[in-house]
Structure 1
Amino acid sequence: MKRLGPVYTLAAGAVMAVVLGTVSATTSPTTQNVNAQDDTAATVAEATSQATPTPAAVRTAKPTPAKADYAGRVTGNGGLIAVSVRNGKAVAYFCDGRIEAWLKGKAADGKVTLSGRNNASITARLGGGKAAGTLAFGGRKWTFDAPVVKKPSGLYRASAVVRGANVRAGWIYLDDGTRVGLTVVNDEVADVAIPEPGQNAVVDGVEVDPQDVDEFIEGF
């Protein structure tokens, strides 16, 4: 029995060596497989990069003022024009003291586009402290440059019923004191004096209150 002891010890040692060897082989990192995965990821990334085109440059919209008032002279006509912008909506008025045109439309991408009765239209760029563009009306076209103006200059409108008659009036005031306007009573031009800035017009003995753009644009 004593002589068998070393045999058992060697056998146990051999078994232990085999077990340790197996454990070592199992826990050793598989460097080759890891590298293969890295190579695969790189290949996929490269293929994705080639397959996905670089997005084209996105066109940047030109700034449009949320609120602005412009007024100036119509070149070659002698009349005045006023354009006002409020949160994407635009209104305009052209008048030379004999004829007039009211227009409405939108303001976006740094310009205004408006239309009115009798095929009246306005297209103008907004920038550099002015509205510059073209007015078409009555089969003719004119250009204009209308700088930014501040109250009391700018556009005013009146709409009322006076002694049973429908009254509509429009006035434009420039910073240099120039002014123009027209009052229409039952669709006929009436002889009504242009009021001083901040004062009421008098139609058939009745005072009519001129409204600024903020007061009438929503219902226009």
Structure 2
Amino acid sequence: MKRPGPVLTLLAGLLLAAFMLSLNATTGVRNAASSGPRTPAAAPPSSAPPEGPTGSANPADPADPADRPVSRSPSPSVPPSAKPVPNADYAGRTDDDSSAVAVSLRDGRAIAYFCDGHDKESWLKGAVRADGTLRLTGKNGARLDGTLRDSGPIRGTVRLGGQRYPFTADKAVKPSGLYRATATVRGARVDGGWIVLPGGRQVGILDRDGEPSAAPVIDPRTGTVTVDGQELTAHPVTP
């Protein structure tokens, strides 16, 4: 019996070669699959909070405008020139020294009295502006225009009977100031006005039923005055 010899050896070699080829093909496919493009890893979620419907990144911002705090603007400060004029009394004389003028200021209102101590007089009243400007009016077209600045004197002009009377009135401290008394004495209507100037000098007119004359002297401490034998009381005048 003959041994297989070279034929078997050749057959075994062919089988081995076929096996090796098959192994190499399988390995190549695996290597190609492993060397292909990789899917990128998903990015980690952001820690920042998502924006709200209005695009605001602040989650504490209330969505309802009614819940938001209201911003209030501070009240504007009032300039000194706009503050109310202080209550005070003023008395002085005209530049020609012919007459006297007294002014009383209370709560933005003013009353004034002009008289020459003989037969010219006028009661005037009106408002005081915050800047210290006075525009007072009286009977028969009488008018007083004046200005009070920085709590100093009142400087102004009285227009009466077609004439102008510039004046300066300084602040009056009691008993200086403006006084008035009205009464009926012996059947006559009596209306008296007095200006007590700083230093004690008095200027006044007493009107009896429309007839003016120089007024008798009053006691500024009590306001008492005697008219035709009857004692009256003159009171300080305020608006």
User: What percentage of aligned pairs have identical amino acids?
Assistant: 38
Q: What is the total number of aligned residue pairs between the two structures?
A: 174
Say if 2:194 and 2:215, in contact at 8 Å, map to a contact too: no
Match of 2:228 in 1: 204
Q: Which residues of structure 2 form unaligned runs of 5+?
A: 1-38, 58-75
Structure 2: how far apart are the matches of 1:161 and 1:95? 22
Paired letter, 2:137: S
Q: As a proportion of its length, which structure holds more helix?
A: 1
SS in 2 for 1:118: helix
Q: 1:108 is paired with a residue of what secondary structure?
A: coil
1:144-155 equivalence runs, <5 A: 144-155=167-178
The match for 2:85 is: 65
* Alpha-carbon distance in structure 2 between the residues aligned to 1:74 and 1:157: 20
How far does the alpha carbon of each residue in 1:81-122 deviate from its partner, in whole angstroms, 9 at most, with x for none? 001100111000011112101000111222222100111111
1:63 Cα deviation (Å)? 4.1
> Is residue 157–residue 212 contact of structure 1 (8 Å, CA) maintained in 2?
yes
Asked if the contact 1:158–1:211 (Cα under 8 Å) also holds between the matched residues in 2, the reply is yes
Whichever residue aligns with residue 135 of structure 2, its letter is T
The AA in structure 2 aligned to 1:124 is G
Distance verdict in 2 for CA 1:119–1:77, change over 3 Å? farther
Which residue of 2 is the match for residue 180 of structure 1?
Answer: 203
After superposition, the CA RMSD in angstroms is: 3.0
- Compared CA separation, residues 171 and 67, structure 1 to 2 (3 A): same
Amino acid at match of 2:126: G
Q: How does 1:115-194 map to 2 (within 5 A)?
A: 115-128=137-150, 129-190=152-213, 192-194=215-217
User: 1:115, 1:77 → 2: CA distance?
Assistant: 22
CA distance in 1, matches of 2:214, 2:146: 32
Q: 1:132 to 1:64 in 2, by over 3 A?
A: farther
**Structure 1 residues 191 and 176: CA distance shift in structure 2, 3 A:** closer
Conserved? CA contact 1:192–1:201, under 8 Å:
no
> Does the aligned pair in 2 maintain the 1:64–1:111 contact within 8 Å?
no
Counterparts of 1:202 and 1:107, CA distance in 2: 35
In structure 1, the residue corresponding to 2:42 is in which secondary structure? helix
The letter for the 1-side match of 2:121 is E
Q: Which has the larger radius of gyration?
A: 2
Runs of at least 4 residues off by over 3 Å = 27-31, 57-64
3-state DSSP class of the match of 1:21? coil
